[in-house]
């Protein structure tokens, strides 16, 4: 016979897992156009190259990745940087950066990927607002302000 306490714990587990299931479904199926950041075919190719060459071992996007190199979230639109700057760096092998041999088409794909990442938001989010309850209201790109 199952102990009374075990039954209670199993009930708690069932309740928690049910909420978790609903929560996961909402996240996976979420299709809110306001937060959608679709990638073009060329950018998807760039994203695949980014992963195949493990670029995030040194670089970050939205501060996520390794810290040996700079964050590249907004490198496309940054002052004095942009597409030519990105392309010049890709095969440079400067400092710790491996000496890659990207073709022109691959450089273009990676640059397009970074362009579309750039269009998805800001990092660092300098215009974010910090409220007294500890919350941070971030600035969304293209007037996609929230709250």
Residues forming contacts to other proteins in the complex (CB under 8 A) are 2-3, 5-6, 9, 12-13, 16, 20, 23, 27-28, 30, 32, 34-39, 44, 47-48, 51-58, 60-71, 95-96, 98, 116-117, 120-126, 128, 130-131, 134-136, 138, 140-141, 144, 146-147
Distance CA 43, CA 62 (A): 17
- Which residue lies nearer to other proteins by CB, 87 or 141? 141
- Which residue lies nearer to other proteins by CB, 84 or 95? 95
Q: What is the closest distance, in whole angstroms, from the C-beta atom of residue 80 to other proteins in the complex?
A: 10
Q: What is the closest distance, in whole angstroms, from the C-beta atom of residue 101 to other proteins in the complex?
A: 12
Q: What is the closest distance, in whole angstroms, from the C-beta atom of residue 41 to other proteins in the complex?
A: 9
Distance CA 71, CA 81 (A): 13
Q: Which residues sit opposite 64 in a β-bridge? A: 61
- Which residue lies nearer to other proteins by CB, 70 or 88? 70
Is residue 98 within 8 A of residue 104, CB to CB? The reply is no
- Which residue lies nearer to other proteins by CB, 69 or 109? 69
**The two three-digit tokens of residue 136, written as one number:** 């941070």
Q: Report the largest interatomic distance among the alpha carbons of the chain, rounded to a whole angstrom.
A: 73
Q: What is the closest distance, in whole angstroms, from the C-beta atom of residue 83 to other proteins in the complex?
A: 18
Q: What is the closest distance, in whole angstroms, from the C-beta atom of residue 134 to other proteins in the complex?
A: 4
CA angle 121, 112, 96 (to 5 degrees): 90
**The two three-digit tokens of residue 101, written as one number:** 């041999």
Helix (H) or strand (E) holding 66: none
Q: Is the dihedral of CA 104, 108, 114, 115 positive or negative?
A: positive
- Which residue lies nearer to other proteins by CB, 77 or 138? 138
């Amino acid at each position: 016979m199952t102990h009374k306490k075990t039954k209670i714990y199993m009930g708690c587990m069932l309740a928690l897992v049910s909420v978790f299931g609903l929560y996961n479904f909402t996240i996976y199926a979420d299709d809110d156009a306001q937060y959608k950041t679709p990638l073009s075919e060329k950018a998807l190719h760039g994203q695949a190259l980014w992963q195949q060459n493990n670029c995030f071992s040194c670089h970050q996007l939205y501060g996520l990745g390794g810290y040996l190199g700079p964050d590249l979230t907004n490198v496309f639109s940054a002052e004095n940087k942009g597409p030519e700057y990105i392309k010049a760096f890709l095969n440079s092998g400067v400092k710790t950066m491996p000496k890659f041999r990207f073709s022109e088409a691959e450089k273009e794909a990676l640059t397009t990927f970074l362009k579309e990442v750039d269009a998805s938001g800001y990092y660092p989010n300098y215009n974010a607002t910090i409220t007294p309850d500890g919350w941070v209201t971030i600035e969304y790109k293209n007037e996609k302000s929230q709250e």
